[in-house]
Amino acid sequence: MDLSPTPLENRLIEIIAQNGALRLDHFMDLALFDPQDGYYTTHMPIGAPYAEGGDFITAPEVSQIFGELIGAWCLDLWQKNGRDEPVQLIELGPGRGTLSADLWRVIDHHHFSDHMQLHCVETSPRLRAIQAEKVPHAQWHDHIGAVPATAPCIIIANEFFDALPTRQFRRTADGWSERYVSCEKNTLVFVDCPFDGPSRSVEKGAQEQDVDMMAELRRLEDQFALGQCVELSPAARLYSDHIAARLRQTGGALLAIDYGYGKAADRDNSAAQAGGEDLSLPFSGDSLQAMFRHQFVSPLSHIGAADLTTHVNFDALAQSLKHGQITPLPLLTQGTFLNALGIHARTQKLAASHPDHAATLFSGTQRLTAADEMGQLFKVLCAISSDFPVPLPFSEK
């Protein structure tokens, strides 16, 4: 594996030498979205190894059944809502457009496409072009706030929140410390600096953000042992505020699927399992990971060439939606969600009509639902506006 510094790494070393260490979320933001050398600007993230040049594979790419079941879920929810007005289906970060295409096929098949509009929220021009080949009738936007609020909506986000930059705070004997990326002998290194309240930064919104972080850390304090870290994403917080505002305005639901954890207790198991940590030891809480051609690499290597993510803190996401007067329903695992939507019956049916693909269909379903594959690590959060019905298979308690 080539370990020579990438152009972005060299630039970051210069930036740090001039301005000091970079806060972890600022580092992630540059590594992923730098307009010149960022990972999403320069690479094709999703796809099978080598054949398609991707670095990771997502549920819709594993099996068409994933998107089809979500299409049927949207239709069911729409009918349950009992309204005759149009609905907007908004996908956040549609990647290669596979989920949108699969769900739209179901909607079309049931002759509902006249009642629905598809909106894709995507920042990468390169991915937009690929999506346009799959769902040419969709409309594209840079941000959820730019989707015209003309109808109730169902917002779908698969592996979207894990890409949003995160801050990391560690509990120490002297309070909380925060993780930064610095440079020693021309090499990037992590450093931890004390975090004791609002920064003196003059950057717009920086102090308010730190006050929010401090309040959240106080709420969480007794869930974390000394040495463990909490990951809080201001970008996810901001995004969920926009989602909540939109859902309040027109009514609707959010379906967010991602690897991640709810409360601290389930985090320790699921995040450690994904990171290959020894489950008998307490999990450090650090879920930052870098993927390069389907292999884990150091988050401080291959900068701009590897995908950088953290596990989604669904507890924090649910809290911020609640703060925006949107009701988060209890978190389900992906396995429970897909099993309840009838993934096994659908697989049998499709395999019977396409015997040549039967083995791939069955192994895809196994990968999506098995507890030791994606079934347990991936979670599904559904949140609804006050006037919306509770979608299957969620419950209010």
Residues forming contacts to ligand SAH in the complex (CB under 6 A) are 40, 45-46, 58, 60-61, 93-95, 99, 121-124, 127, 158-160, 163
Cβ proximity to ligand SAH: between 122 and 286 the closer is: 122
For the chain, percent helix, then strand, then coil, each to nearest 5? 45, 20, 35
Instruction: Identify the helix (H) or strand (E) that includes residue 48.
Output: none
CA gap 237, 180 in Å, rounded: 20
393 close to 335: Cβ distance less than 8 angstroms? no
To ligand SAH, the closest distance from the beta carbon of 157 in angstroms equals 7
To ligand SAH, the closest distance from the beta carbon of 95 in angstroms equals 3
List of long-range contacts for 104-108, beta carbons under 8 Å, 24+ apart: 104/71, 104/135, 105/67, 105/68, 105/71, 106/68, 106/71, 106/72, 106/75, 107/71, 107/74, 107/75
Cβ proximity to ligand SAH: between 260 and 285 the closer is: 260
Token pair for 318? 């649910």
Cβ proximity to ligand SAH: between 78 and 161 the closer is: 161
Extended beta strands in 229-387, E state: 229-232, 252-261, 289-292, 295-297, 307-309, 312-313, 327-328, 332-333, 378-384
To ligand SAH, the closest distance from the beta carbon of 207 in angstroms equals 23
To ligand SAH, the closest distance from the beta carbon of 48 in angstroms equals 12
To ligand SAH, the closest distance from the beta carbon of 9 in angstroms equals 21
**Which of 149, 118, 110, 122 lies closest to 135, judged by CA?**
118
To ligand SAH, the closest distance from the beta carbon of 160 in angstroms equals 5
Cβ proximity to ligand SAH: between 93 and 152 the closer is: 93
* Number of Cβ within a 10 Å radius of residue 379: 23
103 close to 341: Cβ distance less than 8 angstroms? no
To ligand SAH, the closest distance from the beta carbon of 111 in angstroms equals 26
The secondary structure of residue 163, as a DSSP letter, is G
Cβ proximity to ligand SAH: between 55 and 216 the closer is: 55
CA gap 145, 357 in Å, rounded: 41
CA dihedral 2, 290, 276, 70 (to 10 degrees): -130
Cβ proximity to ligand SAH: between 158 and 209 the closer is: 158
Cβ proximity to ligand SAH: between 120 and 183 the closer is: 120
To ligand SAH, the closest distance from the beta carbon of 118 in angstroms equals 14
Token pair for 134? 């799959």
Question: Which residue is nearest to ligand SAH, using beta carbons?
Answer: 93
Cβ proximity to ligand SAH: between 99 and 312 the closer is: 99
